[in-house]
Chain A
């Protein structure tokens, strides 16, 4: 076992030494692979815990095959869970979790306790979100891909309603919604009842309006982060206006997420305000790729928008993995060779690559200013948890209540109280 640990140091200059020691692995026989080839050093069976239940027994079989082609002595197994964040945290708390996982929401200071640094993969300056899952200068998680948030729309629905061109200002946006409503098409599918699809109104849009990636974290500097004329109030007012003018679903308290994808695909509903991750799902719900477009949400009348580039879940390697080198090699392979980001509709996290998804090209044609998202600071997370604020619930309450200022006051009060308790 200790011989294992030596060969699993991971540095490529140890490969020569590691080649001879590779014989202790149980995966394959190494009699023929006694070369100084680093690929032979990558051995053993590792497990990857993923949230993509839909890829098990399908795309992942192909990934396993291709990974084995590159590293003949290694095997990778895929295990999927439905509730990624909670399930991964539970597994980590037992002290025994798979070799490669998607790093759950943890305080940054806990990262070195469970994960191995990934700086030796050599990707550090080539990726977005280098600091996202890092602590004290070391990178513990590399995002699988980037998403950006904007309006996903059904082109035929727009054409039927007589909308000639994509709205670039807020007034044009409301006008387009009015045309859709007149045609009997639901302008925007908010999926209000399920609560989670409202997240862009609560964080991505305010950050874009403020033009400041640190907006959510800077809440710790004040007792009244939620103001009507501030970025949060502005973003919430837009969705509230849409609700009041009837541009959302007929009964927002009775929406159905799965059904909404079919309705956007068929043109019964026209738009989503979500990330580009939803585009492949809409297409596979019953329409073609050239019928779905994507443009930045115009939140004011200036004609220019900011958009937030956010990281999706990040790959992390279990610090106590028995096959550390293999696990790290797998992470590198997933980022560079697997093509997963293309499959999932992500923007590649490697800066020198661009996505060839047509909707993203359309999005880029509006030249939005990209704001790279930053991680939540521990203080912001602690205060939010102590105050028990669910950001999507703030959106729901703000939209439904008669006096929206009272909701802002209520949450400011909760924030101030929790801030006092946490920051001593």
Chain B
């Protein structure tokens, strides 16, 4: 057998199993999902009827389904703040300082914890009468700030988003750290020699070198905000009175409670398209800045 043939054989044989698994568990279900989104499948019927684009029309015309995206805006805002703080911490913890490894570990640890366990834990933090947050505020004499963190419709989404901040800030920070460490050190020395202060170095040198990484983290944050589900599901069930419902929460409800898998499939497709649109927009905006 020739070398070329052998190479081909090795490549194909190693790729076969992973590709098969990918097709079976990712692409085939995705295609089925797309098919179901055009039907009125109820999860058990073996012959659902074709609905065409009716499910999609329902999603965009029903404010209960599409309107919930409004509740997810606080996650985006908090996510942006999260990225800024992560970047700052990364810059600080990249410099020579004592105990920086300890701080890096402490900040990253929340990311390793299981999402649902974190949500349950925060239930005890945010509880109005016996929660630790209100207790802490009381101790500090800030009684006026004590309130129903998860029961006040105007702040419930921010409370939930702050849990995401706690969990993911460390993760963002570690990615920024990696990017920072790949910037060659000599350009910093040159800047220092030229007399640039810390802020100027940060703004004019560090950030421009990190645009790709910032783009990546922003995409992760935004797509996370669009698809958020675990926090409202565990902590508030979308309450109080629907104030913290999110799109994926409604999708799960539509599928499993109201037995409308066709509509829920359509909602999943809409979510995917929306994520692609957001990514595209982000690329356009950031490319303009670069250019």
Residue of A nearest to B156 (CB): A253
A193-B236, A253-B150, A388-B254 given; A110·B44 CB < 8 A:
yes
- Cα A193 to Cα B258 with chains together (Å): 21
* Choice from B129, B237, B254, B256 contacting A193 with Cβ under 8 Å: B237
- Cα A401 to Cα B151 with chains together (Å): 13
A86-B256, A385-B258, A388-B64 given; A253·B127 CB < 8 A:
no
Residue of A nearest to B245 (CB): A393
Find residues 51-70 in chain B having any chain A CB closer than 8 Å to their own CB: 64
Q: A194 an interface residue at 8 Å Cβ cutoff? A: yes
Q: B211 an interface residue at 8 Å Cβ cutoff? A: no
Q: B138 an interface residue at 8 Å Cβ cutoff? A: no
| Contact (Cβ within 8 A) B43 A89 | yes
Find residues 99-156 in chain B having any chain A CB closer than 8 Å to their own CB: 123, 126-129, 131, 148, 150-152
Which residues does chain A contribute within 8 Å of B260, judged by CB atoms? 385-386
Could you list some 20 contacts between A and B, CB below 8 A?
A: A89-B43, A93-B43, A193-B151, A193-B239, A193-B240, A251-B129, A251-B151, A252-B151, A253-B151, A254-B126, A254-B127, A254-B129, A256-B123, A256-B127, A385-B258, A386-B260, A388-B253, A390-B253, A393-B242, A400-B241
Which residues does chain A contribute within 8 Å of B257, judged by CB atoms? 390
Which residues does chain B contribute within 8 Å of A401, judged by CB atoms? 241
* Choice from A106, A110, A256, A400 contacting B240 with Cβ under 8 Å: A400
Binding site for A on B (CB under 8 A): 43-44, 64, 123, 126-129, 131, 148, 150-152, 236-237, 239-242, 253-254, 256-260
- Cα A385 to Cα B257 with chains together (Å): 8
Q: A396 an interface residue at 8 Å Cβ cutoff? A: yes
Q: A334 an interface residue at 8 Å Cβ cutoff? A: no
| Contact (Cβ within 8 A) A397 B241 | yes
| Contact (Cβ within 8 A) B239 A195 | yes
* Choice from B43, B64, B237, B258 contacting A195 with Cβ under 8 Å: B237
Given contacts A251-B129, A385-B258, A401-B241, 9 further A-B contacts (CB under 8 A): A89-B43, A193-B237, A195-B237, A253-B240, A254-B151, A256-B127, A390-B257, A396-B241, A397-B241
Which residues does chain B contribute within 8 Å of A416, judged by CB atoms? none
- Cα A193 to Cα B148 with chains together (Å): 12
- Cα A93 to Cα B254 with chains together (Å): 18
Expressed in whole angstroms, the minimum distance between the Cβ of B243 and any Cβ of chain A is: 10
| Contact (Cβ within 8 A) A253 B128 | yes
* Choice from A92, A106, A253, A256 contacting B148 with Cβ under 8 Å: A253
Expressed in whole angstroms, the minimum distance between the Cβ of A93 and any Cβ of chain B is: 5
Find residues 171-220 in chain A having any chain B CB closer than 8 Å to their own CB: 193-195
| Contact (Cβ within 8 A) B239 A253 | yes
Which residues does chain A contribute within 8 Å of B239, judged by CB atoms? 193, 195, 253, 396
Residue of B nearest to A249 (CB): B129
Which residues does chain A contribute within 8 Å of B129, judged by CB atoms? 250-251, 254
Residue of B nearest to A104 (CB): B44
Which residues does chain A contribute within 8 Å of B258, judged by CB atoms? 384-386, 388
- Cα A6 to Cα B256 with chains together (Å): 38
Inter-chain contact total with CB atoms closer than 8 Å: 64
Complex interface bits, A93-111 against B, C-beta within 8 A gives 1, otherwise 0: 1000000000000100010
Expressed in whole angstroms, the minimum distance between the Cβ of B63 and any Cβ of chain A is: 11
Which residues does chain A contribute within 8 Å of B126, judged by CB atoms? 254
Find residues 393-422 in chain A having any chain B CB closer than 8 Å to their own CB: 393, 396-397, 400-401
Expressed in whole angstroms, the minimum distance between the Cβ of B274 and any Cβ of chain A is: 21
Which residues does chain A contribute within 8 Å of B240, judged by CB atoms? 193, 253, 396, 400
Which residues does chain A contribute within 8 Å of B254, judged by CB atoms? 388
Expressed in whole angstroms, the minimum distance between the Cβ of A262 and any Cβ of chain B is: 12
Which residues does chain B contribute within 8 Å of A384, judged by CB atoms? 258
Expressed in whole angstroms, the minimum distance between the Cβ of A106 and any Cβ of chain B is: 7
Find residues 350-388 in chain A having any chain B CB closer than 8 Å to their own CB: 384-386, 388
Which residues does chain A contribute within 8 Å of B64, judged by CB atoms? 388
Expressed in whole angstroms, the minimum distance between the Cβ of A364 and any Cβ of chain B is: 35
- Cα A397 to Cα B256 with chains together (Å): 22
Residue of B nearest to A397 (CB): B241
Q: Which has the most chain A C-beta neighbours within 10 Å: B126, B152, B242, B259?
A: B259
Residue of B nearest to A252 (CB): B151
Expressed in whole angstroms, the minimum distance between the Cβ of A395 and any Cβ of chain B is: 10
Expressed in whole angstroms, the minimum distance between the Cβ of A34 and any Cβ of chain B is: 43
- Cα A390 to Cα B152 with chains together (Å): 21
- Cα A388 to Cα B68 with chains together (Å): 14
- Cα A251 to Cα B236 with chains together (Å): 13
- Cα A393 to Cα B240 with chains together (Å): 9
- Cα A210 to Cα B258 with chains together (Å): 26
Residue of A nearest to B65 (CB): A388
| Contact (Cβ within 8 A) B128 A194 | no
- Cα A89 to Cα B255 with chains together (Å): 12
- Cα A110 to Cα B45 with chains together (Å): 9
Listed from nearest, the 8 A-B pairs whose CB atoms lie closest are A253-B151, A251-B128, A254-B128, A385-B258, A397-B241, A253-B240, A93-B44, A251-B148
Which residues does chain A contribute within 8 Å of B152, judged by CB atoms? 253
Residue of B nearest to A407 (CB): B241
Residue of A nearest to B153 (CB): A400
- Cα A193 to Cα B127 with chains together (Å): 11
Complex interface bits, A249-287 against B, C-beta within 8 A gives 1, otherwise 0: 011111010000000000000000000000000000000
Expressed in whole angstroms, the minimum distance between the Cβ of B156 and any Cβ of chain A is: 8
Which residues does chain B contribute within 8 Å of A195, judged by CB atoms? 237, 239
Which residues does chain B contribute within 8 Å of A390, judged by CB atoms? 253, 257
Which residues does chain A contribute within 8 Å of B44, judged by CB atoms? 89, 92-93, 106, 110
Residue of B nearest to A398 (CB): B241
Expressed in whole angstroms, the minimum distance between the Cβ of B7 and any Cβ of chain A is: 42
- Cα A218 to Cα B243 with chains together (Å): 31
A93-B43, A256-B127 given; A393·B241 CB < 8 A:
yes
Complex interface bits, A50-89 against B, C-beta within 8 A gives 1, otherwise 0: 0000000000000000000000000000000000001001
Expressed in whole angstroms, the minimum distance between the Cβ of B68 and any Cβ of chain A is: 12
Which residues does chain A contribute within 8 Å of B148, judged by CB atoms? 251, 253-254
- Cα A174 to Cα B44 with chains together (Å): 47
Which residues does chain A contribute within 8 Å of B151, judged by CB atoms? 193, 251-254
